[in-house]
Structure formats: C-alpha cells, structure tokens
Amino acid sequence: MRIVVLGAGAMGGLYGSYLSRKNDVTMVDINASVVEKINNQGFEVREPDGSSNVFHQKAVTSTDGMAPVDLIIIFLNSRFSESALNANRGIIGPDTCLMTLQNGSGHENTLGKFVPQENIIIGTTQHNANVGGPGITNHGGSGMTHIGCVTGSASRFQAIADNFTACGLNTDVSDDVQKMIWNKMFTNVSASALTAVLQMPLGYISTDPFAWALCQKLIRETVDVAAALGMDFDYDEKVAEVKAVCDNSPNGLTSIYTDLKKGRRSEVDTISGSIVRAGEKAGVPTPNHSFMVALIHAMEDRTAK
C-alpha cells in the first residue's frame, strides 16, 4: 500500500516505521529538521526491552506533486487535523481512505469534509509511545489496534487490518469500535482533565477526597451520555478502572497536564468537549464537563502560544 502518515511525532513515527516494513510509507511533518533527520539517518524506534531499530521511510514537509495514496493516517494534535488535510488535499483521491487513531471522539466529522463516509476509518490503539528526540520514538507498550467504520460493515477494512498485523501492529476490525473509543476516553475525560486544571499527578486525583468526588461526577455524566447513544457502560466498573489507573501511576503526568503547564493549547475540545457535544445531541445535560472545558480554555488563554 501507499501510505502517508501525517505527523512524525511519537505515535506517527511508531506506526510509520512499523508499516514501512511492507508498505511504501511517507511521513509528513512541518518540522524541517525532523524531516531531514528521518531522510538522512532514518527513524529510530526504541523498544521497551532496551533494543532499538532504525527504519528508512521517506519524509517530506509538503506533498505537493505527489499522486493520491491508498491510506492517510492522522497522528496530529486534533486541533491541526483539518488544516493538515487541507494542505495535503492533492494526495486524497476518490479511493483514498482516511484513518484516525487519535484520542477523543468525533474525529470522523472532520475527516468527512474530505472523503465520503465509507472511506473513513476510525479506531483506537493500546500502543503508547513518547518522543525521544527528533526522529526517535520511545515505544512504551504494545497491544491491539482496533479499527472500524462510520457506516456499513467494518469487514471491508480487513485487508488493511491484515497488512498492519503483518507489519507487527496487531489489528482487528470491529463494528463496535465506537464503543471501544469511548471506553478508552473515561480516564481522559475525568482524571486526566482534572490533572490539567489542578496541575497535579494522577495519584492526587484518587487520593484527595474533593478531587475524587469531582472525578466520579465526570464519569457519571460520561456513562449517562453513552447510554443515551446506545453504549452501555457499568458506572461502578468504570470508576474502579479509573481509580486503578490513578493508583497504579501515582506520579503519572498526562499530556493535557503538560500542555497547560507549558502554555500550549490542548485537545480538550475533542476529549471532554466531545462528551458535551454528544450530550447535546442525546439530550443529556453535561454541566460538569461543560465547566471543565470552559475552565481549561480559560487556563489556556493565560499563556497559550
């Protein structure tokens, strides 16, 4: 397959590197120094066991002049998805599929501005990674990648899942992928959001009684909105799962915590904000999530770059 990965950061670099084992992969990034490093020295993936491998996919700052490709995978901060797709419209053909494995939900609304609904692949992954430097990914852990569709049967994407699996990214297709995406969001929209506004690590959320009470309210609203959309989650089970994440990573610092600490805009609109929009659609009030979104934006406005 001819694949373009938008974003040569931690996760984009991981997927672009693994997929280059059996595909023609081009990484796209606006950072010219990162692109130069990849082209001259390759992209290094450092594995959890201490080993590392260098991959030699192509990298560019612009896709001008490139022919349409088979698959485009978006691994960007969601705030930049639409502008990046606009800048790379030339590689989107009538048969091009757009895939998002980004955090949060509702990304298909942006992707739908560029391709038909049947060409949109949504999904979630258990892989995690962080940037080890320009052109370097620290692969923190592996797991399944689940992909599905917005309309129709996900089985039509089986060949893509098989391709990913053959490259070392175990992938399956599911008609229930939307629920999987929501399942992954519970910690992000509750404990992670609170780490941002409190500027404290995850362990504080589960041990401070006031923070934990707020966290449970955010989980309750998320369960209620999901139920109205036909996705049933057990409230007590989700509370226990979020608490376990906090207890097991007491010093854990989330990406949204880091964004606010460094004065950057966050992805709150596609994470907590997606619960607010879904609640409006389903007729379920989400006052706590609405407050969190407004508060995080107010904090961003102080120093955001």
Enumerate residues 6+ apart whose C-beta is below 8 A from 21.
55, 166, 167, 168
147 φ, ψ to 5°? -125, 155
Query: How confident is the model over 102-119, as pLDDT tens digits?
Result: 988 889 999 999 999 999
| CA-closest candidate to residue 88, choices 113, 115, 63, 56 | 63
Can you give the residue ranges of every domain in the chain? 2-175, 179-303
Query: How confident is the model over 64-117, as pLDDT tens digits?
Result: 999 999 999 999 988 899 999 999 999 999 999 999 999 888 899 999 999 999
Cβ distance 165 to 220 under 8 Å?
no
Mean pLDDT within 227-256: 94
- pLDDT reported for residue 140: 87
- pLDDT reported for residue 258: 87
Number of neighbouring beta carbons within 10 Å of residue 63:
20
179-303 maps to which CATH number?
1.10.1040.10
CATH superfamily name and code, 2-175: NAD(P)-binding Rossmann-like Domain (3.40.50.720)
3-state secondary structure 258-280: HHHHCCCCCCHHHCHHHHHHHHH
The answer to pTM > 0.75 is: yes
CA angle 295, 297, 301 (to 5 degrees): 115
